[in-house]
């Protein structure tokens, strides 16, 4: 196995790490952090066959059900089990963030920053055959990749995907008791109802979608009046609805009763907790690191975005529901500072201890009941995790 670079890190980056209590050796020592994968439920009996196909023994992750570790140099993308949808790659720390949501069959779950989709797959695995998952992302091409992933693993039946800004997304889950079948005017055509999803959409619909994307300020952001629905499964609650029913808004009082049971806000960040990501800057150039990670303007704008995502995710959470906020940054500004600011402005938000974490290889964050994973402590990628519940007010 090749060793990662041992070139000196830029002084500005070392100072940045020390200011955040991060050991610089995470980035300069040999990369021994394993890769992780999740076995699709029902494939356990085929473990030996899977190991033979990828030419590697999989080590069970005892603290996280369904997860296995493998050496970092083993590639699975071209293996038969991967192509057949029996395994998918997801870091154990990311799996822990999903586990902290305590998803149960029947839950309605919102993933507010859904791409690239591995956590979305795990959520749908945990739902089994009831409930729903709504995936939202501002990047259309990344969300389209999520769609491909869900279809590959046959996990798409209870999911709907929207291209939308997570800071303003406002659609509630399609609960049986929250969608009223109101009287429809005679002018409303039957073909306004959503039938079963097909990638071969009618020409008129494709034209409307293309027109809605015209005038976008960037290729990443959709600016149509309503979020763009780019996929929905047979049992996602969309089939049979009209557009008016799908895009119906509800007030805060209704959200408290009919909002999402579980919300994940895995917010956009500087990705400094991902060792493999940081190591790429040796090839990209350390000046690029200065702009993407260390630049004060960028980190300040990210903190504003992260707080907005957390606020909106919490707004869409029902009373008694659980929200997990996570980032793959190890900085205080993008984690504990966001949590502290949010708690001070939300009397109905309560930070909750993650009981499941008693057996997890992680450290406490600077705020009690928050958690930090890092390569040295956890043998995973870096991740910050905090769990909230919504109180009745």
Which is more confident, 82 or 202?
Answer: 82
- Average pLDDT (274-281) is 79
The answer to which of 19-28, 201-210, 237-246 has the lowest mean pLDDT is 201-210
Contacting residues for 259 by C-beta, under 8 A, at least 6 apart: 172, 173, 316, 317, 318, 319, 321
The mean pLDDT of 160-164, rounded to a whole number, is: 97
- Check pLDDT > 60 for residue 55: yes
Predicted confidence band at 257 (pLDDT cuts at 50, 70, 90)? confident
Mark 57-85 as b/e (b = at least 16 C-beta within 10 Å): ebeebebbebbbbbebeeebeebebbeeb
On the question of pLDDT at 186 being above 60, the answer is no
Most confidently modeled of 6-10, 187-191, 292-296, 386-390? Answer: 386-390
Q: Is the pLDDT reported for residue 343 higher than 60?
A: yes
| The pLDDT of residue 364 is above 90 | yes
pLDDT digits (tens, 9 = 90+) for 105-130: 999 999 999 999 999 999 999 998 89
DSSP 44-111: GGGHHHHHHHHTSPPEE-TTSTTEEEE-TT---TTSHHHHTTSEEE--HHHHHHHHTT---TT-EEEE
Whether 217 shows a pLDDT value over 50: the answer reads no
Q: What is residue 80's predicted lDDT score, i.e. its pLDDT?
A: 94
């Amino acid at each position: 196995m090749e060793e990662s670079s041992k070139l000196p890190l830029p002084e500005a980056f070392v100072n940045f790490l020390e200011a955040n209590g991060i050991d610089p050796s995470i980035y300069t020592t040999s990369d021994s952090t394993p890769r992780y994968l999740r076995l699709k439920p029902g494939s356990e009996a085929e473990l030996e066959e899977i190991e033979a196909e990828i030419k590697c023994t999989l080590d069970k992750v005892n603290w996280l059900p369904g997860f296995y570790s493998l050496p970092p140099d083993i590639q699975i993308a071209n293996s038969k089990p991967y192509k057949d949808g029996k395994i998918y790659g997801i870091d154990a720390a990311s799996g822990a963030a999903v586990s902290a949501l305590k998803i149960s069959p029947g839950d309605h779950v919102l993933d507010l920053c859904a791409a690239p989709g591995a956590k979305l797959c795990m959520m749908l695995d945990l739902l089994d055959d009831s409930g729903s998952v709504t995936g939202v992302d501002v990047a259309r091409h990344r969300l389209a990749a999520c769609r491909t992933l869900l279809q590959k693993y046959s996990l798409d039946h209870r999911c709907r995907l929207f291209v939308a800004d997570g800071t303003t997304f406002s659609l509630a889950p399609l609960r049986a008791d929250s969608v009223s079948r109101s009287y429809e005017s005679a002018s409303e055509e039957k073909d306004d109802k959503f039938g079963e999803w097909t990638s071969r959409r009618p020409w008129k619909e494709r034209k409307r979608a293309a027109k809605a994307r015209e005038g976008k300020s960037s290729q990443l952001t959709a600016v149509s009046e309503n979020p763009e629905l780019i996929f929905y499964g047979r049992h996602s609650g969309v089939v049979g609805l009209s557009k008016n029913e799908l895009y119906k808004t509800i007030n805060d009082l209704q959200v408290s009763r009919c909002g999402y049971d579980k919300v994940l806000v895995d917010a956009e960040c500087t990705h400094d907790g991902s060792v493999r990501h940081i190591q790429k800057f040796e090839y990209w150039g350390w000046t690029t690191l200065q702009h993407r990670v260390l630049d004060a303007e960028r980190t300040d704008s990210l903190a504003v975005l992260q707080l907005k995502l957390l606020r909106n995710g919490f707004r869409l959470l029902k009373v008694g529901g659980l929200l997990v906020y996570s980032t793959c940054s190890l900085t205080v500004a993008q984690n504990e500072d966001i949590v502290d600011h949010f708690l001070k402005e939300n009397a109905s938000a309560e930070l909750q201890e993650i009981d499941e974490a008693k057996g997890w290889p992680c450290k406490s964050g600077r705020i009690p009941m928050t958690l930090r994973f890092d390569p040295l402590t956890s043998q995973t990628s870096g991740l910050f995790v905090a769990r909230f519940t919504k109180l009745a007010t």
